[in-house]
Structure 1
């Protein structure tokens, strides 16, 4: 198991239990005791967790946005598959407003060889697209949030209001049928709302770990997007409900071959 995969296991177990033991992680990953301890030390240096005797605990309380470095190593295979499915829905020549976050970063990497116009809502995402030969890059104004480097504030909102896009590609922090799409940061939520308002169609990218969760700031109802792209770990019952409401739900294949669409004809 590669280091990124081991670190993903560590983060997912921390999210589920609030504490992990070295012995538990050795059994889960098949790595040596020393290798697991090195992974824990690395994640502690990134601010993801705090080392305690025999294991680790999360540094961030529940309900607080995990740091970008932590999210960048979580559910990477699912995010890459979701990003590939999203890019397949974008046609050459289209104008795209591309959200911040780690899934959006995977989308940007796949757009480098495409002929599109993109306004990224994050400096991380913008950096990925700089120099791409076929990409026309439009930068919004605003203030980058520390760590996240997502663009927020009145200048970002003004930039969005002055344009119209073919598609908004958004990746919320949390998603549920009851709470809808939500974000941890108020400014980030406001930008996402505006991106939806100025786009002809919308794609929402949300891996299974974000389902049945809610964050502080409301963005829109769960059935507002035209297309939701997720992975097979998303609750099937919720996917069926969304299909009943007329939302196209696409389940991305982690192997990167095909993405199975769930659009059920319900009487």
Structure 2
């Protein structure tokens, strides 16, 4: 098992249990305690967890998310699959506004060969579309929030006030059914609200695990989006209620 796969397994255990211990991880991963400690130290240096005696605890509380570089390798195949399913909902000729984050970057990549007009709200999304010969790329104003690469701030919000898009591809930090679409950062949540308000249709991409989480800043209720693209691990009862309320559910 390579470093990235081991560290992904560690993050999965943290998401599930909130704390991991070195001996348990060594047994789970089939490796030595020394290797586990090195992985924990690397993840702690990246801000993905906090080291405690004998193991580590999660930093994924309501006000704090994982760093972009860690999330980028966490379930990368799943994010690409969901992004591809969302891209399949976009028709050629549409004007599309694309949210930030690792899933937003994956959506921009999936749309790079399509004939659309696109405004991405992250430097990663801009990079994914900048070389496209078929995408008409519009750049938003705003401030880049490092190290996320998210474009935020009053100028970013004002960029959207005079524009109307056919579709918004929205991403989220969490999507607990009782709470709604939420984000860890207040400035990010404000831009997400502006993105949703500037589009005729909102497509939310949310991995199944996001439905068990809640972050600090509310973006909108889940019933307020038009389409949810998720995976089979999403809670079926919650999805059924959303479908009954008129939300289209796409399982990828």
Both proteins in one fold, TM over 0.5: yes
- The answer to whether the 8 Å contact 1:100/1:171 transfers is yes
- 1:196-219 per-position Cα deviation (integer Å, ceiling 9, x unaligned): 111121100011111033222221
User: Hey, what does 2:46 align to over in structure 1?
Assistant: 46
The 1:134/1:232 distance shift into structure 2, 3 A limit, reads: same
Deviates more, 1:228-237 or 1:103-112: 103-112
The 1:219/1:61 distance shift into structure 2, 3 A limit, reads: closer
User: Hey, what does 1:109 align to over in structure 2?
Assistant: 109
User: Hey, what does 1:100 align to over in structure 2?
Assistant: 100
User: 1:236 aligned to 2:231?
Assistant: no
Q: CA deviation at 1:55?
A: 2.7
User: Hey, what does 2:181 align to over in structure 1?
Assistant: 181
User: 1:56 aligned to 2:53?
Assistant: no
Q: CA deviation at 1:34?
A: 4.6
CA-based RMSD? 1.9
User: Hey, what does 1:150 align to over in structure 2?
Assistant: 150
Q: CA deviation at 1:158?
A: 1.3
- The answer to whether the 8 Å contact 1:98/1:118 transfers is yes
Please give the residue correspondences for 1:16-55 in structure 2 after superposition, counting only pairs within 5 Å.
Answer: 16-55=16-55
- 1:174-209 per-position Cα deviation (integer Å, ceiling 9, x unaligned): 112221111122221121111111112110001111
Q: CA deviation at 1:22?
A: 2.6
User: 1:65 aligned to 2:70?
Assistant: no
- The answer to whether the 8 Å contact 1:49/1:57 transfers is yes
**Which secondary structure state, in structure 2, belongs to the residue aligned with residue 56 of structure 1?**
strand
Aligned pair count? 251
What is the CA–CA distance in structure 2 between the aligned matches of 1:124 and 1:62, rounded to whole Å? Answer: 25
User: Hey, what does 1:255 align to over in structure 2?
Assistant: none
- Structure 1 unaligned runs (5+)? 253-267
Please give the residue correspondences for 1:167-206 in structure 2 after superposition, counting only pairs within 5 Å.
Answer: 167-206=167-206
Q: CA deviation at 1:35?
A: 4.1
What is the CA–CA distance in structure 2 between the aligned matches of 1:38 and 1:248, rounded to whole Å? Answer: 44
- The answer to whether the 8 Å contact 1:48/1:69 transfers is no
Q: CA deviation at 1:93?
A: 2.0
Q: TM-score, normalised by structure 1?
A: 0.86
